[in-house]
Every structure is written in structure tokens, then in C-alpha cells.
Amino acid sequence: MKRIAVIGGGLAGLTSATILARSGHHVTLFEQSAHVGGKLGYAQFDGCTFDLGPSLLTMPFVLDEFFRRAGTTLAAELQLVEVTPGCQYRWTDGTVLDVPSDVYGFSEAIARMSPVDGDAVRRYFDHARRVYEATKDIFIFSPFRGLRELVSPANLRLLPMWRTMRFTQTLHALHAEYFRDPRVIQLFDRFATYNGSSPYRAPATLMVIPYVEAAFGAWYPLGGMRSIANAYRAVAERAGVQIRCSTPVRSIRTQRGIAVGVELHDASFFEADHIVSNIDVHVTNTMLLGHDRPHPRDPSTSGVVIVASVDAAADPSLRHHTVCFSSDYRREFRQLETSLPDAPTIYLSRSVHSDPSQAVAGRENWFLLLNAPPTGMMGDRGHWQAQAPTIASRTFEQLAAYGLRPNVRQMQVLTPDDFATRWGAWGGSIYGSASNNMMSAFLRQPAQSSKVKNLWYAGGTAHPGGGIPLVTISGMLAADAIARTRHPVTLTY
Ligand SMILES: Cc1cc2nc3c(=O)[nH]c(=O)nc-3n(C[C@H](O)[C@H](O)[C@H](O)COP(=O)(O)OP(=O)(O)OC[C@H]3O[C@@H](n4cnc5c(N)ncnc54)[C@H](O)[C@@H]3O)c2cc1C
């Protein structure tokens, strides 16, 4: 039985902590803010409740696996509803398209808008299914050891699939090969943003993202996305994890290259045999360990979130999720490299559509998300704070081009600086590192630190990446890696 310190109460930290506690270890989790859940934050005003982070749950079977390992089930802990249609898409030419989240319904919907592309969607999903089946165990569900994975005998079976996986083609180029209608190409290109990447740079292998949503559905937990964090917290506490909120970790103490404990904000020391860092890998290495490291080369996008209470029935045809596409996607991503695009794509989520408990009668809880560059590329905090009101009013003006003219009652705006300061995300990056080149997946931090013994990483900046299901996997992988270390390194004094 070991003493384990987990730094950060995001979903990955809670996952690792729970599994380790259920294996009999003494686990203490330190969270800097007053609540656990990390990016699954929420706000309440004007009779509405708003999720401030994720709005969509995919791959629910991953959560079920975690809950089963915690001695319960997904069905017992959360009430999920499938969101139908999965998403509505709007263009400035007036097109409105509802797209279900299943392969058949997806292709039927596309065929109605663009008959020539209906069959292509089925062929595309078949292609993506083969890539997902071939790669999932290597890139998602198993520990990853970088490039060495590709030459491991177990993975050599991938070699004949090399051309199918399209590592060297961009996602946009693949879509332009499959589809004729520019709106269909843009609709599929958008899935690169699910992990903060650009479709014009990310490898076509990311075709697995739309496939996963079409194959396993788009889900929402009644009570809001934060109920996922509440459920993770509940199982962690039942497993015996000591959760210490409002307790920032100031540094990780090492002796002769071995992690021996954490120093807290009040300068007290907590001794531990193992440390799991659930916070940004770069922040862990530079700020908690004091290592000199270059800034991440290709952080994922950040975002501007606007949550607003609006009068109900702004448009009765609106769905739970709506994407209002910009008229020049390539230009938008070019601008995103350095600044906020001048006419960005706007994502709108109104969970009240699936869950009336999220707003009082006569109101709707609107969540708007614009992609934004990480804050390091945009200047200082003052810049974002000064810009926030202008960005918000411009966004609502822009919505009129899609037929949306809500009567806004009250609103709150979060900028990349808020993501950086609230959750310790480097540059306010939402998903860790982007997948903007074919090597990205190989460069992600594995669970085990190669520099400091008994230090482990779990979370969106570690393998297999960001998003609720993936960080849950990351938490399980870190816990399993520690369990495999039968004889952790200890110091003899
Ligand atoms: C706007 C937005 C939209 C998103 N949309 C989706 C979506 O629709 N679907 C989806 O699946 N995912 C989405 N995501 C991504 C998803 O939320 C994240 O990938 C995931 O929640 C990250 O979990 P994590 O375990 O890495 O920890 P985080 O959520 O990053 O939590 C880390 C925790 O560590 C704490 N911490 C930091 N420093 C310290 C310290 N020194 N001491 C103690 N504690 C510390 C922080 O306070 C925080 O609680 C979205 C994220 C955002 C921000």
C-alpha cells in the first residue's frame, strides 16, 4: 500500500485517484479551486444554468468502463440522453441542415442537401471505420511509447494499412477527395476542431472523429455536463480518496531524480511514493518541477465562451447543438494562427432543448463558443479583458446572418486568459497539443515521466489527448501504469 498524491481534480485526476484508492492505496487529491471537475465548470444567473466547458459527450462506453472499475455503472451514476439530431448546421446562404448522429441518418441528411454526396458519406464512414478499428488499440486505448510503438511486433500488422490511414494527407484534402459540395466538405472539416486542430494541417487519420460520433452517438447527461464531474467526485469519495479543494500545489519535490512529495501553497510538505499530475504537462515540468523547457510547439486552439440568458423561442427550429459556419473556412483558420478571426464560425449549444431543468420558463441558456488562438499569441491579459465586450456584441450581430436575433438578458464572457488562470492550461489551450501534423500523436506525453521517477501524467495534455472520454482513458492508463510498478523507486536515507 502506497501514499499517492494526485495534483488536480479534473476528470483524469479523479479517475486515477479512484482506481488507485480501490486498489488499496492511500490517495490524496489536491485541487487549487473550490470545486473538482476542472474544465467542467458552470455558472448560474437569471434563472439559467450554464456549462462553461464541454457540451457534448461521445464514447459513453469509456465512462461505463471507468464506473465499472469503480464498482458501479454509468447507468447507475448518470442519466444520459441521446441528442437528436446530433447537430444542426447553418450557412450564410440560408441553408439549414439537421444531421442525426448515426451513420445511416448522417448520409441520408447529406443526400437531401447534396444528392451527389450521399453515397460518398457511406463510403467515407466505411473508410473511417477501418482506420478506427486498426488504430484504436494503439493510439487510444493502450499505453503509448511514441515511435517505438510502430516497430513493435504487435503493431506491424498496421503496415499494410499505411495507405488507408492517410497519415500524410490533410483532413481537408481527404474530404475534398470524397465530397463535391463545399458545404459538405466544411461540415466534415469541422471535426478537426474537436481536438483544437486545423483541418488544413491535421492528418486525414482524424477521420476517426466524425466516425466515433456517428457510430457511438452524441450524448448529454441530464442535470448538465457538470453532473459528470459530480459523479466522478462521488465515486472517488466512495473509494476513499481524500479530496482537498482550495489547496494548490506549489511544487513537486524531487531527490536524486525521484519524486518524493508535493509542497503546498502554505509551504507545508506532503510526502508521497507516487505523484500523478493531472495538470498541463508543460506547466508541471516548468512551474512545479522548475525544469527549463521550450514552450509547446503546437498548442491546440483556445476559445472565447459567451454564456447568455435569452428570451425563449428566439427560433423554434433551433436544436441542442447548432454550428453557424463562416463563409471562408480556410481564411478563418489562417487568421486563427495569430488572432481571433473577423467572421468566425459560431458554435451554439442550448442544453435546455434536451433538459428543461436548465432554465426557468420563458428563458434559454445559450452557450456560444468561438475558436481562438492560445493567449500567448495574442498578448496580455488586459488585451482579452478589454476585447471581451466587443467580441460578444460582434458575435450576436453576426448571428443575424443565420436568422438568429435573440433578446439577450444577461451574459458572461470567458477568454483564453480565463482558461489559463482558472485551470492552469498553458496559453488557455483547451485540448493540450493540437494534432496538426502526422507526428503529433507520437509526441504526446506518455503516462510515465522519463525524467522523474515515480511521477505520472494524466489529463488532456498527456496520451491519448483531450476530451472527456480520452482524459478518462488517460486517468485509467496512469493508474494501471503505477499498478504495474510493483517496486516503485524509494530513497534510502
Ligand atoms: C470550452 C470548452 C469546450 C469543450 N468541449 C468539449 C466537448 O464538447 N466534449 C469533450 O469531450 N470535451 C470538451 N472539452 C475538453 C474537456 O473539457 C477536457 O479535455 C477535459 O475536461 C480535461 O480534463 P483533465 O483531466 O485534463 O483536467 P482539467 O479539466 O484541465 O483539470 C485540471 C485541474 O487541475 C487543477 N489545477 C491546476 N493547477 C493546479 C495546482 N498547481 N494545484 C492543484 N490543482 C491544480 C485545475 O484547477 C483543474 O481543476 C472542452 C473544454 C473546454 C474548455
pLDDT tens readout for residues 114-157: 999 999 999 999 999 999 999 898 888 888 777 777 677 777 77
From the alpha carbon of 468, which atom of ligand 1 is closest? 11
Residue owning the nearest CA to atom 1 of ligand 1: 53
Q: Is 143 exposed, middle or buried (0-12, 13-18, 19+ CB in 10 A)?
A: middle
pLDDT tens profile 159-176? 778 788 888 899 999 999
Q: Which of 320, 316, 387 is nearest to 349 (CA)?
A: 320
- DSSP codes, 396-450: HHHHGGGT----EEEEEEE-HHHHHHHH--GGG-SSSB---STTHHHHSBPSB-S
Using an 8 Å Cβ cutoff, are 120 and 175 in contact?
no
The pTM score is 0.95
Residue 212: strand, helix, or coil: helix
Cell numbers describing residue 346:
459560431
Going from the N-terminus, what domains does the chain have, and what CATH number goes with each? 3-41+225-297+434-484 (3.50.50.60), 113-212 (1.10.405)
pLDDT at 377: 47
CB 434 within 8 A of CB 298: yes
d(CA 177, CA 166): 12
* Residue 80, all three cell numbers: 444520459
Pocket residues for ligand 1 (CB within 6 Å)?
A: 7-13, 30-33, 38-40, 53-56, 248-249, 278-279, 303, 305, 369, 419, 423-424, 430-431, 459-460, 466-468, 471
206-226 pLDDT, tens digit each: 999 999 999 999 999 999 999
pLDDT score, position 58: 97
> Average pLDDT, whole number, for the chain?
92
What is the Rg, in whole angstroms, of the alpha carbon atoms belonging to the chain? 22
Residue closest by Cα to atom 48 of ligand 1 = 38
Helix, strand, or coil here: 36? Answer: coil
What is the structure's pLDDT at 83? Answer: 96
What whole-number distance in Å separates Cα of residue 427 and Cα of residue 459?
Answer: 16
Pocket mutation for ligand 1, best pick of 279, 320, 456 (most atoms within 8 Å of C-beta): 279
Beta strands in 313-407 (DSSP E): 321-324, 346-349, 363-372
What grid cell was written down for 170? 490533410
**Which ligand 1 atom is the nearest neighbour of the CA of 52?**
1
Tell how far the Cα of 37 is from the centroid of ligand 1, in angstroms: 7
Question: What is the distance in A from the centroid of ligand 1 to the CA of 256?
Answer: 31
User: Which secondary structure element, helix H or strand E, spans residue 77, and what is its range?
Assistant: helix 74-77
pLDDT in tens, 28-80: 999 999 999 999 999 999 999 999 999 999 999 999 999 999 999 999 999 99
Mean pLDDT, residues 228-234 taken together: 98
Going from the Cα of 452 to the center of ligand 1, the distance in angstroms, rounded, reads 24
